[in-house]
């Protein structure tokens, strides 16, 4: 038996894997391994615009210590 990691490109891929599992061809061990390993910075990338980030940085630099 061999364990492999796959990246699912869409919901159809997950549906196909579930069908293979129901047919006892494969066993899905953990569906959310990639989400747990994703860095917070990667998950939040693009959450605010570059302009807003620059504005917030400017405001932080103007704050007294």
From CA 43, how far away is CA 56, in angstroms rounded? 20
pTM tops 0.85: no
In a domain, 1, yes or no: no
In a domain, 47, yes or no: yes
In a domain, 5, yes or no: no
Domain region containing 47? 11-62
Q: How many domains does the chain have?
A: 1
In a domain, 44, yes or no: yes
From CA 19, how far away is CA 28, in angstroms rounded? 11
Tell me the pLDDT tens digit for each residue of 34-57.
556 778 888 888 899 999 999 999
- In this prediction, residue 42 carries a pLDDT of 83
């Amino acid at each position: 038996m061999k364990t492999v990691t796959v990246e699912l490109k869409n919901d159809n891929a997950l549906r196909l894997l579930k069908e293979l599992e129901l047919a006892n061809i494969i066993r899905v061990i953990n569906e959310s391994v990639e989400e747990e390993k994703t860095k917070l910075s990667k998950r939040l990338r693009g959450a605010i615009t570059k302009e807003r980030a620059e504005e917030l940085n400017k405001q932080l630099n103007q704050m007294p210590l």
